Amino acid sequence: MATADEESDLSQALDALDDVLESVGVERVHLGVASATLLAIVARLYDLGARTAHWDEGRVGYWILQYMQTGNYEYRPIIHGPFYHHVNSFLFDALGTSDFTMRLVVAVAGGLLPLTAFLFRDRLRNAEMVALAFFLAANPVLLYYSRFMRGDPLVGAFMFTAFALFVRSIDTGRHRYFYPAVAFVGLALTVKENALIYPVTWAGATVLLLDHRLFLARDGQARWPTVLKRYVRSTGSAVRRWAVPLLLAPVELLAIVVFFYAPRAATDDGPGLWKAFGQPSMFQDVIYEGSVGAWKEFWGLWIGGGHQDHSYLPYLGDFLQTMAQGAVVLSALAVAGFLVDRYSGRRPRDVVSFAFYWGFVSILGYPIITDIKAPWATIHAIVPLTIPAAVGVGLLYRWGTDAYAERNLVDVGLVAMILLLVGGQVAVASVDAVYRNPQSGDNELVQFAQPGDDVKPLVATMVAARNETDTQVLFYGDYYVDGAEDAEREPACVKWFNSLPMPWYLEANDLNATCAESEREVRDAVATSQPPLVVVRTPKRGDIADDLPNYEPRYYSFRAWGTNSTVFVHEDYADRVPGRIPDASKSARSASDTAEPTVSGSAEPSA
């Protein structure tokens, strides 16, 4: 048992801390949330450019560079919204083109996300706000994918921020929170079209909250029809009070969407946003293309294009497998927090129930609407579940403080052990998945199209040879080469999607590639240009090995598994590129799970 002196010493220390914080206008909860935010920012920016670009990062990064070169942009739903095109083109111009720079926006957005905990200060206790901030900062899935140029982490961050601002505007009755909330919804829509799912899940959660209120009315003096009428009247009054913001919101939303989705035509014919300032009659076409035209394109591909024609259970299983790897503790605490909040106390808190319904429906719904098995889809369930999970942590905290007040060291020790296990599991999972093995095929957070090996030494080798030879890499074999020299994408001769993310690195570093469709062409290319690298799928390496006497083989996986390639490195550069022997277990896995199709140079797969 704790002695009275020990309890007094701790109380005095906490009081002294409160006095110091109060002298600068700060409370302990502010310190806690700020600490979580600092952790989030550092964790996201640390070694941000180390991981080799994912297939999708390479694809979008390349198109951003093309936009910068031509000044032309039109919405293509297969690569989702235009947010990264416009924002990253500015960053590339200001900070240079690199993996770090292309991930900077999503890293900063994820790093600042814990600050949204403050917006729930009328709904959550102090300990719950701090727990919420740390979940948003350190959850392995959120951390991994906020270091990844992908639309989903930004959509999750923007829509959660919008939700928090909407809640705060309701709590305070102030319009100053409402307009930024609408702006974040608009930004989310410019990132990726699945932001449209959020209002649907919010509407469903609202209906469930109303149903629960009507159910509770059975135990009161008023009958449920009376309670329903009361809610209808109060909603009508709220709509009248908020008439001006509600009327302005669609205008604000449309302005943001049109600004981003509107075509740019610096060198192309046709409508363009900046062109329209010199030709005002063009604004009508610009607004149409940035709104109705974009909607038609989106509908034609993602709704009517058959991308969701797949079996449900395998996708659900993959979704749950990722949740088990990256959010099992959070999920368990979310269930506990929801149940305790719902069935204890005078009445459940709306924000806790709402967030739980939102997250639960997302778990069931996203395997239906997603077109590929991808760990990043779980973001949309994890983000809302952080709220009930924080309530679960708050319950443990109150249990511990009550036990300490009662001098019950057994319960205090038990709570401390549980919290240490929770924090330790999250920390270990994050360090392993995010920093130690961010490209491993055994990491459940890694999507298939992530290169399993570090290609940065290959890129550095090509850059070093840039002034020595006109060709820095030669691709050989029917997996990599299609010979379509007139293709718009560079390198034109390669099967572009099979070769990703290499085109991103070639374009970003002003490197040149050529192709060979036969052994004779390989001999000719080597004789004339001596490219430092020759890339071929490993099963085909024997075709050209004898033609490369001055080259040493290195083995690389350009996907997480199943795509072993051989990179022949010229002996002058061999010391720059570490060698690797093919992993037999990965080769066996690839034989039974060939997840990557051979893609033609003209088709563009979804992601």
Q: Mark out the alpha helices in 290-327 (DSSP H runs).
A: 294-298, 312-326
pLDDT of residue 337: 96
Among 188, 132, 179, residue whose Cα is nearest residue 159: 188
pLDDT of residue 495: 93
Task: Answer whether residue 206 shows pLDDT above 70.
Answer: yes
Tell me the HSE value of 404 on the side-chain side, using a 13 A CA sphere: 15
Among 388, 397, 379, 416, residue whose Cα is nearest residue 330: 388
Whether 330 and 386 have beta carbons less than 8 Å apart is answered as yes
Distance CA 561, CA 285 (A): 46
- Identity of the highest mean pLDDT range in 49-63, 264-278, 292-306: 49-63
Task: Answer whether residue 209 shows pLDDT above 90.
Answer: no
Mean pLDDT of the region 204-221: 76
pLDDT band at 580 (very low <50, low <70, confident <90, very high): low
- Reported as a single tens digit per residue, the pLDDT across 244-298 is 999 999 999 999 999 999 999 887 788 999 999 989 999 999 999 999 999 999 9
pLDDT band at 405 (very low <50, low <70, confident <90, very high): confident
Whether 111 and 41 have beta carbons less than 8 Å apart is answered as yes
Q: Which CATH number fits domain 456-592: 3.40.1580, 1.10.1390, 1.10.10, 3.40.190?
A: 3.40.190
DSSP 575: G
pLDDT band at 404 (very low <50, low <70, confident <90, very high): confident
Element (H, E) at 108: helix 99-112
Among 154, 198, 194, 187, residue whose Cα is nearest residue 261: 187
Give counts: helices (H), strands (E), the chain: 26, 7
In angstroms and rounded to an integer, the radius of gyration of the C-alpha atoms of the chain is 27
CB atoms within 10 A of CB 415: 21
Task: Answer whether residue 431 shows pLDDT above 70.
Answer: yes
- Spatial neighbors of 59 by CB under 8 A, at least 6 apart, are 79, 497, 500, 501, 504, 607
Task: Answer whether residue 599 shows pLDDT above 50.
Answer: no
> Hey, what long-range contacts does 63-70 have (CB within 8 A, 24 or more apart)?
64/88, 64/89, 64/92, 64/102, 65/92, 65/97, 65/504, 65/507, 65/508, 66/507, 67/264, 68/92, 68/93, 70/266, 70/267, 70/268
Mean pLDDT of the region 584-598: 39
- Identity of the highest mean pLDDT range in 190-199, 208-217, 424-433, 476-485: 190-199
Q: Across the strands, what pairs with 535? A: 475, 567
Handedness of CA 189, 195, 197, 199 (dihedral sign): negative
Q: Which of residues 12 and 48 earns the better pLDDT score?
A: 48
pLDDT of residue 212: 75
Among 174, 167, 145, residue whose Cα is nearest residue 433: 145
Q: How far is CA 202 from CA 159, 199, 354, 355, 361, in A?
A: 11, 5, 8, 9, 10
Task: Answer whether residue 176 shows pLDDT above 70.
Answer: yes
4-8, 109-113, 388-392, 555-559, range with the lowest pLDDT? 4-8
E strand map for 308-412: none
When the pLDDT of each residue in the chain is averaged and rounded to a whole number, the result is 88
Distance CA 193, CA 298 (A): 8
Task: Answer whether residue 583 shows pLDDT above 90.
Answer: no
pLDDT of residue 538: 92
Distance CA 586, CA 70 (A): 41
- Reported as a single tens digit per residue, the pLDDT across 93-140 is 999 999 999 999 999 999 999 999 999 999 999 999 999 999 999 999
What does the angle CA 189 – CA 193 – CA 195 come to, to the nearest 5 degrees?
Answer: 60
Whether 109 and 76 have beta carbons less than 8 Å apart is answered as no
- Spatial neighbors of 46 by CB under 8 A, at least 6 apart, are 435
Task: Answer whether residue 5 shows pLDDT above 90.
Answer: no
Q: How far is CA 532 from CA 69, 181, 469, 473, 498, in A?
A: 27, 52, 8, 6, 21
What proportion of the chain, given as a percentage, has pLDDT over 90? Answer: 69
Mean pLDDT of the region 438-462: 94
Q: Where are the domains of the chain?
A: 21-436, 456-592
pLDDT band at 592 (very low <50, low <70, confident <90, very high): very low
DSSP 123: T
182-196, 368-382, 588-602, range with the lowest pLDDT? 588-602
